[in-house]
Structures are given as C-alpha cells and as structure tokens.
Amino acid sequence: MQVSNVTTLNTHGYGVLIDASEGNWSSIHTKGAGTGNTCPNSGSTTVDNPGGGGASQTSWQPCPAGIYVRNVSNVNGVNFLATEGQYYGIVMVGVRHSTFASLAATDNSLSTSGTWDDLHLDLNVFTTVGRGENHNLAIDGAVLGANGQLNLTTSSSAPTTRYGLFINDGLAGSVGDATVAVGGTGCTLNDALTSSGGTSTVAAKWTAGNVSGGVVTGIKHDFSVGGGVYTVLPANPVTLTGGTCGVAPTINITWSKASIKGVSIGQTVTAATRIPAFFTNWIVQSNVGNFGPRGVPVLSACGGGSPALSSGATDNIGKITVGTATATCTLTFAQPFTTRVNCVVQSGTTLAAFGYTYTLSALVVTATVLGGDLVDYACDGY
C-alpha cells in the first residue's frame, strides 16, 4: 500500500487512521482533529490504555488523534504533521517492525480538561488478535510541544495538563519475538503456557502452536495479556510452565526494543515528557543527549523537617527544598546514567561555600549551611 499527500481539516474523529500493515505513508497532514467531539476521558476512552492486559486493555478507544497508528507491522512513514487537535497529536499503539521519520505534532490538546500529549506511545498490545507489543519500532525526528497554548484555545479556560512526549506501559520488559529452544515432552496442541523467571507484574503468556509427538515445535503469543511487563528480564532459555507437558519446554525470547531520537520539544503546559522510571531496550534521545527514560529521583541526607522535590521533578530537572540543619543533600537518580552526565545546579540564595558534585548515579549539593535552601538542578546525559 502506498499513500501520500493526504490532508484532513477539522474532523470530528481521527484525522487519519493507519491500521493496515505493510505500507508506505508520506506527507500526511491533519489539522483540527476532534473538532466538536466531547470525549469523556473515562471508561473505554480513558486517556491511557489500561495496562496489564485483559478486556479493558483491548477495548481501549482513545479520544480522537490527528494521526492514529494502531496494530500494524512493516509500515514506513515520513513527514507526518498533526496540529491544533482537541486531544492527542499522534498516537501509536502495537507497532512492530516499522520506521517513522520527520514527525511534527504541535499546538494540540486544545480541550480544556484531561491529560493529552503531542506524541503518545502507549505500548500495550491493542487487540486479542493483534501483533503484540511495540517491537523494532524506530522513530527518527520528532518536533513536539507548544501544546494548547492560550493563543490557540477556543475557550477562556486554559489547558492545565499537557505533555510533549508520552511513553508508557509494557516496554519495561515485554516480549517481542520468541523461538523454541527445547520442545519438552507430553505437550498438547494449544496448551496454555506461562514464562517463568525474572521479575514481573504481568508474566508473558504463550500457546503451543505446533506440537509433534508431544514436543512443542512452534510457539504463539497469548495476546489476551499482552507480552508481559518485566522489571527484571528472565535469562534465555526461558522455561514455560503449565499445560499438559511432562517435561517443560523452553524458549529463547527477543525482548521488545525501540528507539526514538532527534526529539525537539518546545513549550508545554505541564512538562516536556511523562516517561516511566525504567525501560528495557528502549533508546530515547534528544538532539543534545538523553532526556529519558527518566523517573523521579530520591532525596537522602537532606536535613530534618520535610525535604522535598518539586511537583513533576525528574532525574533531568527539578527543584529541591532542603530540610533543616544540614550542610549536604543527596539526590539519587531513579535510573543511573550509563556513559556520561552533566549537571547544572543553582542555589536560590547566596550561600557560603555552595557547591555540588555528581556521578552517573547521584548528585550531591553542599554548603556551609544548606538547610532551608531552594536548589534548582538540571542534568542531561545518556
């Protein structure tokens, strides 16, 4: 399929819906998606696809996006622009073995309630017959931000919760593909099997797709629960439990992986990103370094009373309210940087001997008397 030079204006629903695999899409421009549509942001249209699999996940119907890419494989897209939409700019769900370049989503989320994003990557499997978690998805170049600013809203009430880039669900370790290592014995066709090992909130599920003489020769995803959500991946080969097998089969798993680079995020109402504290096999890079995935850091040895981080603080940026009677405060990153990091720290007042040091895993602020100070920090790296 070849589709190019498409423009939509002020659609009630999605501007453009891409749900056909094996195609090339280029020069797609949408403006004003969701016009006149009052989306409840509840039930099946809740802002984020419910995690963990099951019926609530597979019945998700997101509020109108300018460009909505769902449940596809082997799609290439270039030069996408989604602007002035009431809700999302670009939404991608269940995208496998696909590449996208030169995306722009700006001045969206004009609705005055709810939480919306210019580029929304919700990584759970989309339907029970879908192609699984986002896997081998590559995005090169995304211009985001300026969501729903006052000069574009049609209401006197300004938007309050808007982000440039959203990534959530699933890719904190989720199955991409798998092959049979050892087929076990005594198994039956369509046996329901579960991955063992690792640490997960949702374990990956499987079905014995091909069986010969009790030996599993082919494995299929059980999409009713997605590809699992792991914080610690099990080592290959992974043993499968359940079913009728006398000796458990084992499989080698390729975990979901994806990358987004060349990201530029302009002004946003709430924050540039909302990204979980951990991922596996995801690379998220801005033009000048890695701004994600980053989570909420932890304060320690920051004095008495109630030392605190500002609302929305991440490893990359935030404000520290130091506690009482201390000369030091330590901020430990939610996810340590792996190669380099550069931090800039500024005191809210003039303090004697104010200084700071940082490593890949933590930032330490010091002064002769640091207690009660407000400290702004910004850290960037990869």
Residues 6+ apart with CB under 8 A from 192: 205, 206, 207, 222, 242, 243
Sorted by where each begins, the domain ranges of the chain are: 2-173+257-292, 175-254, 298-381
* Residue (of 169, 163, 30) closest to 93 by Cα position: 169
- Please compute the mean of the pLDDT values over residues 248-259 and round it to a whole number: 85
Query: What does the alpha-carbon distance between residue 68 and residue 64 come to, in Å, rounded to a whole number?
Result: 8
- Please compute the mean of the pLDDT values over residues 150-155 and round it to a whole number: 44
CB 329, CB 307: distance < 8 Å: yes
* Residue (of 216, 207, 134, 137) closest to 175 by Cα position: 134
CB 337, CB 381: distance < 8 Å: yes
The vertex-310 CA angle with 263 and 116, nearest 5°, equals 45
262 has pLDDT over 70: yes
Per DSSP bridges, beta strands 88-106 and 65-73 are parallel
CB burial of residue 287 (10 Å; 0-12, 13-18, 19+): exposed
Query: What does the alpha-carbon distance between residue 279 and residue 137 come to, in Å, rounded to a whole number?
Result: 14
269 has pLDDT over 70: no
Centroid of chain to Cα 206: 24
What is the H or E stretch that residue 60 is in?
Answer: none
CA distances from 138 to 33, 104, 256 (A): 25, 15, 12
* pLDDT band for position 136 (cuts 50, 70, 90): confident
Entry pTM: 0.64
Residue 225, pLDDT score:
63
Amino acid identity for residue 287 in this structure: N
pLDDT tens column, 327-342 = 999 999 987 877 777 7
